[in-house]
A and B are shown apart, each in its own frame.
Chain A
Amino acid sequence: MSVVKRASVAALLAPLLVFATGYAESRPLEERAAECVACHGPGGSSSTPGVPSISGQPQFFIINQLILMREGVRPVAAMADVLKGLKDEEAVALAERFSSTPIVRSDETADPALVKRGAELAVKMRCASCHMPGYEGSEQMPRLSGQRIDYMIDALKAYRDDKRPGADTAMTAVVYGASDADLAALAHYTATK
């Protein structure tokens, strides 16, 4: 329950005040996008273990997550520096770009037994009602189809263990009490849909 006092509150607020008054330049989109693909892979499709693909995600989802991470509502250490000073319109432009780039599946191998188990669980847990029947996501709900399996296992565990603060408590409630094996099955199934 601690309030973090940053060394310079003024410096921290600067980007936001800038957004409000509008006198700072946006950085070139190419420069921003280059920082994204440096980790998230060419076009935003990741071949790096643990790093999610951002291509093919719903535009709303990308905008939402960029801004929640920038605001510190969803703190992600690896993203903190790159998101410094990100303007709202830059978030919108990046989201436009990566949402319209098709996702390229990673070379991870899906386990057929886990895929089968995941398909059964997904029906019971009604995953498709928010993530859509093809698991392509919708608005604030992310695409699961084609996403990296290892990333999704980590993300699901984080939801279950209350380590994924952010916009929606729905996921935390849905995966409450699920075993590691079940979460892995869900990841293997939805990634390969």
Chain B
Amino acid sequence: MRFTRKAALGGVFLWAFAAGAAYAQQPSGMSQIDRTNQAASKQDPGLRPHATPPVATPAEKLPLDKIKLPAGFKAELWSSGHPGARSMVRGDKGTIFMGSRTIGRVYAIVEKDGKRETKTLLQGLTQPNGLAFRDGALYVFAINRVFRYDNIESKLDNPGDPVELTQAFNLPPEVHHNWKYVDFGPDGKLYVQVGANCNVCEVNPGIHAQIRRYNADGTGMEIVARGVRNTVGFDWHPATGELWFTDNGRDWAGEEGPEDELNRLPKGMEGANFGFPYCHANGVVDPDIRKPDACAGVVLPAALTGPHSAGLGIKFYTGKMFPAEYQNIAFVARRGSWNRAQKFGYDVVIARPQADGSAKIEPFMTGLLDEKANAFFGRPTYVLQMSDGAMLVSDEQNGATYRISYTGAK
């Protein structure tokens, strides 16, 4: 199935309503509503996002031997040859569906006769990172376009026409920071990311920098979190049912932050404000957009996850394979920094929830960053718990997934 690329870029006009002819002080590549003061950050103006290769790394060149894990764990190659590997959901029959960004594909990875096969299920979409599976149907969110493929696992070779739900969800068309993350919550609602369409700017708080939830058909929209710059992953604590989500901090405000956040939405606080654009991290006031009492009423993060580290996917572990101490702790994939001279992240950390509602961050999967050489070998983006309790980690840079299993003494 191939899609025509109806540019979802119309929204650029909305970003830019205040533009006039002025090129003003905007750093290159930023929209006219952006209030970034790049010069004030004193950061190297040559920093820019690392390009994601549109081709996959050959299996024999994957950085498997670099990966380091705690004693008793091992990493092995699970799949490769699918460029832009990002979000992952599992169908009822075991298909792993995988979303991507620039390359515009959705993959289906199946096991057949003992062999693993990657199919390109959909192509030509705009950043189809938002995938969810429920009642046999795959939901695909590509910026503001929403499709539902019913009974998908029985027609992987010819998915046919989807049910289009774009109008019902009525999501904003701006592309920037709106490659979606979506998932069904324990309440059966479909939770949807809507990021800030800038680095730092005054967003329309009724539209951007939110997490929303909907009924599966796109009706009944509610805003469950506000002031969220760009969450790229969320999950619910298995015991408390509370929503935990990653949020990537702003760029061009210094090497050391404001740090990325792991947030917890306390029960009964749906609609709470998480601070963007005025208040970042654990109470850092924005240098470029100021208001009095910037952090008043802001829910501060459960944990800081490091400067520019780009925490993406998060999953609480509920499997039987890993030792008991891993029950109900969260794994967080950190794609790694770009807006920082000394690279940071490129790993998977664990977040141990504490009794007071905070979380402690500890290393788990490391080795893909060579700090001395300031070079990286891979970029972990999402984690997925398999039915046997092993965990998949997707690597966007290399177009591969790694299976993390526990083989040590229990």
Contact = CB atoms under 8 A, between A and B. Distances in A.
Interface of A: 1-6, 9-10, 12-13, 16-17, 19-21, 60, 63-64, 67-68, 71-75, 88-89, 91-92, 121, 124-127, 129-130, 139-140, 162-163, 165, 167-174, 176-179
Interface of B: 1-7, 9-10, 12-13, 15-16, 19-21, 23, 27-32, 45-46, 48, 51, 53-56, 81-83, 102-105, 117-120, 123-126, 145, 147, 157-158, 161-162, 164, 166, 175-176
A71 B83 CA distance: 12
B29 A174 contact: yes
B228 to A, nearest CB: 20
A4 B28 contact: no
Contacts of B32: 173, 176-177
Contacts of B104: 68, 71-73
Contacts of A64: 51, 54, 102
Contacts of B161: 3, 5
Nearest 3 interchain pairs by C-beta: A170-B29, A72-B124, A126-B28
Given A4-B4, A75-B4, A179-B21, A126 B27 contact: yes
A153 B46 CA distance: 26
Contacts of B12: 162, 169, 172-173, 176
A128 B30 CA distance: 15
A91 B53 CA distance: 12
Q: Do most interface residues of chain B lie in helix, strand or loop, or is the interface mixed?
A: loop
Listed residue (B54, B56, B176) with the most chain A CB atoms within 10 angstroms of its CB: B54
B296 to A, nearest CB: 32
B145 A63 contact: no
A177 B123 contact: no
B4 A2 contact: yes
Contacts of B28: 125-127, 129-130, 170, 174
Contact of B1 (A9, A71, A92, A169): A9
